[in-house]
Amino acid sequence: MDFSHYWSARQKKVEVALNRFLPSAGTRPKTIHQAMRYSLFAGGKRLRPIICLASAEVLHGKIERALPLACAVECIHTYSLIHDDLPCMDNDDFRRGKPTSHKVYGEGIAVLAGDALLTIAFDIAAQCPAPARYSHAVMIRELAHAAGSQALVAGQVADLEGEGKKITPGELRYIHENKTAALIASSIRLGAMSANATPKELERLTDFGQSLGLAFQVIDDILDVTQTTEKLGKSAGKDITAQKATYPALLGLDKARLEADRLTARARTALKPFGKDAAPLEAIADFLLKREN
Ligand code: GRG
């Protein structure tokens, strides 16, 4: 498998679909549609939509059927980044290699661009054809849960409340599971649902997604202390400045790396029953472990 070709072809597919789903930059009111597009097309990796499509692919589903769900997840992710960067949250000036939304459009429009991306995600997801085992209601509720107060928002709340405090490894895991792993696991689950996964297949892919999501955040914590702002496209060293609890801070860099290895191995084990069909997801897990941004 030529992974870099696979990844860039999938990115292209996602870019084209997102462009089709989003109102044009000239749609009234222009400012909000420009701001939504500014952040959405700022050069994100497209990890979540790509794993959503790959999950469908593992089950021999058509990736076109998963595309609306993949794009919906990316809209939710981008909303969360815009809001996370606001002065009242993480207060960052730099994201995806560009000035953050509020730096370009002001705080009011940045809040609204996030709101509008969150809302349009559900409109886009509803355009996914429903497979036999999963109704639209089930898939929309999956997305709502992943974005809501018991997952993504829960993680952000715990993160905000934990700043400057000494937190336990269990509390750190709670933050990472909710702030990061929940949306990653849901991306996998939604891709699997679009391909009409059996309950057992869905369970295995959920296990994969949860371990991959945690590994992704441990690696993100490591990169924050080992990479430059230019390489990351977002401010490096932020976690230390904000006195955030991270895996390197809690365990040290070497043990944090071992934890990322362990979680990636656990993710790969969950794929074993799929045999060779799981090749795209295995390759993605390996790529994420070695990534530099
Ligand atoms: C505002 C409700 C709300 C939640 C914010 C996403 C988030 C929660 C905070 C952003 C900061 C952070 C470290 C989040 C953890 C998830 C993460 C590592 C996001 C960055 O994801 P990438 O690397 O980003 O996939 P790109 O830009 O490539 O899409």
Tell me: the pLDDT tens digits for 179-210? 999 999 999 999 999 999 999 999 999 999 99
Does residue 242 have a pLDDT over 70? no
Distance CA(211)–CA(75), nearest Å, equals 23
- The first and second tokens of residue 15, run together, are 């870019």
pLDDT of residue 43: 92
pLDDT of residue 232: 72
29 cis-preceded (ω within 30 degrees of 0): yes
3-class state of residue 172 by DSSP = helix
Does residue 7 have a pLDDT over 80? yes
Nearest C-alpha to atom 4 of ligand 1 is from which residue?
80
Alpha carbon 51 to chain centroid, angstroms: 9
Cross-strand bridge partners of residue 95: 98
Does residue 53 have a pLDDT over 70? yes
205-214 burial, b if ≥16 CB within 10 A, otherwise e?
bbbbbbbbbb
Give the mutation target among 52, 73, 78, 179 for probing the ligand 1 site: most ligand atoms within 8 A of CB.
179
Model confidence pLDDT, tens digit, residues 141-172: 999 999 999 999 999 999 999 888 888 999 99
pLDDT of residue 241: 66
More confident residue, 37 or 164: 37
Residue in the structure block whose two tokens are 């790509």: 50
Lowest mean pLDDT among 31-45, 165-179, 267-281: 165-179
Q: Give φ, ψ of 32 to 5 degrees.
A: -70, -40
Distance from the alpha carbon of residue 124 to the mean position of ligand 1, in angstroms:
21
Q: Give φ, ψ of 99 to 5 degrees.
A: -60, 145
* Contacts with 203 (C-beta within 8 Å, 6 or more apart), sequence order: none
Per this entry, what is the length of the chain?
293
Nearest C-alpha to atom 9 of ligand 1 is from which residue?
84
